[in-house]
Amino acid sequence: MRQWLRATHGPFFELLRHFLLRFFDSEVVTHPGQMAPVLIGLLPVFFQWFFLLIPPLRKKYAYLLHLPTRGLYHQALRADELWMITLMMGLIGLLTAIKWQSLFPDLRDYRALGTLPLRPFQMFGAKLTALLLVAAAALVTINLLPTFGFPALSGSPWQPQAIASAAGCSFFFFGLVALQGVLLNVLRPRAFGRVTGTLQGLLVGVMLGLVVLSFSIEPRVTDYLVRTEWGRWLPPVWFLGLYQTLAGDAEPVLANRATAGLEWAIGLALASYLVSYHRHRTLLMETGRTRRRWLIAGLSRSPRQQAITAFMMHTLGRSYSHRTILMGYAGLGFALLITGIATMKSATQDFVYYHLLAILLLLVGARHLFSRPAELKANWVFQIMEREGRVEWMQAMDRLVLVFGAAPLVLIPLPFEIHLLGMRGWAEAALLVALGLVAYEWTFFHWNKLPFTCSYLPGRTPIWLVLGILGILAAIGLLHSVLVAALYGVAWFPLLLGLTFIWTRVRIARRQNWETTRLKFEEAPEVAVEALQLLK
């Protein structure tokens, strides 16, 4: 088999192999193939979430199945089915939105394959086949455990679950492919680049929010969505109706909407591929950078700081991948905020939770954004000037995060805090600002990269960092209780003074490190790992 794969087997097979092997590669990664070990490592993490839910689901349905009547059981089963369908659809939609630029052949493909004696329909046919294979593998992987595990726990048949979930995931996948295909044939080249870049970020944020909000679905929410007219137009509700129809509970209207929606999505996606292969290459070649005015804040008189600020803001405004990450964190934060506030009992608790969540997502999101390079091969411009400009570059990074990231998050809700809480609103804002500054200095204390200039290796993300983020998420509840208790007494003032002192000391130590610590511009695998050839 290996010998057969090493041989050449015609244009279509070789194009298919090329698209499959390079589907998850990126120009911003130092070494090709780095995403493979990351995806393999994420599979156990993904499967673990279902095993964590097994004990509560088993107890829940063991109790409901022994009740003399089945009313509560059917209500709980319907709500959990809507949760499962929404979660699976959100995950597939999120993966599709993240790989939005890979749904059609991109500019790299045309540059690499354009000089070869290939016809456009051969390239598009191989790309579509590779896309369908990857989508099918993702759909099977995501739906495998829920499809068989949840029916075993709840005592329901697995066939309706499998069909409804697979149909819902296929609807989101083909729907997003069809959406890009329609825009490809309707918009002009420059408008296409601008609209689809913004749309990708919005889709990532929406899908992340949908995944998080799915865990808030309960029988009361499900009953409300099924009974209201606007709720019956939500796609996850359609496929819940398809599940009920397959299970024997008649929901013909919703099932028909699900079937028609899936048929239209598949038809439009395939049709857009058939009619787009002539226009798509011209569209990519003609799409240029639109002119943007320089948005440089007057925060410093230093030309170096102004130049770095402009560079970082242009990157965030023009880069598809960075804009997608930014919108993804925004969508995740909105979903977490909605679900968290719904459980709070006072305005003080709401605002404290909001600020804690904003601090966490801002810091994690900033490190994630800054670790992704924009134009990897152009970082030589910064390398030759590092010694003279390193300190001012890092100061510009701080001001960008604190002024354009943190300041709006604090100032926008501040009038509402003061109106609802009075003087406690001022105390709450001051205390959380001090906590945020300490957290920022601690997070970036050992940071030695200029944003958007250093390559990265996804496989080198340390497991302790992921565990640390999960630990912080778990500790938010305890920290929230401590801060709320301090605000209702006089303990907030000494706590504020202590945080201010810590921030001052850490800030001074961090700025002293700038003088001696060299910046990193390229990530590389560890020598020991390379010797073992574990990444080959």
Note the residue count of the chain: 536
Residue 228 near residue 160, CB atoms below 8 Å = no
* Both tokens assigned to 142: 């995501």
Neighbour tally for 43: CB within 10 Å: 10
Confidence of residue 344 (pLDDT cuts 50, 70, 90): confident
Residue 106 near residue 186, CB atoms below 8 Å = no
Q: pLDDT tens-digit profile of 267-322? A: 988 888 777 665 555 555 444 444 444 445 455 667 788 888 888 888 887 777 78
Q: Report the percentage of the chain scoring pLDDT > 90.
A: 13
Residue type, 488: Y
Neighbour tally for 414: CB within 10 Å: 15
Give the phi and the psi of residue 29 in degrees, each rounded to 5.
Answer: -95, 135
Across 333-350, average pLDDT:
81
The lowest-confidence range among 19-33, 185-199, 368-382 is 19-33
Secondary structure (DSSP) of 360-378: HHHHHHHHHHHHS-SSGGG
Beta bridge partners of 456: 29
Domain ranges of the chain: 2-284, 305-532
The lowest-confidence range among 12-16, 167-171, 173-177, 436-440 is 12-16
- The rounded distance, in Å, linking the Cα atoms of 16 and 468 is 40
The lowest-confidence range among 20-29, 149-158, 386-395 is 20-29
Beta bridge partners of 29: 456
**166: closest CA among 134, 150, 142?**
142
Q: pLDDT tens-digit profile of 471-520? A: 666 677 788 888 888 888 888 888 889 999 999 999 999 988 888 888 88
- 171 pLDDT higher than 90: yes
- The rounded distance, in Å, linking the Cα atoms of 494 and 154 is 52
Confidence of residue 461 (pLDDT cuts 50, 70, 90): low
Q: pLDDT tens-digit profile of 215-245? A: 888 888 899 888 888 888 899 999 999 998 9
Residue 4 near residue 13, CB atoms below 8 Å = no
- 255 pLDDT higher than 80: yes
pTM of the model: 0.71
What is the rounded (10 degree) CA torsion for 70, 71, 72, 73?
40
Cα dihedral sign for 357, 358, 364, 369? positive
Q: What is the pLDDT of residue 70?
A: 81
More confident residue, 377 or 358: 358
Confidence of residue 441 (pLDDT cuts 50, 70, 90): very high
Highest mean pLDDT among 167-181, 298-312, 334-348, 383-397: 167-181
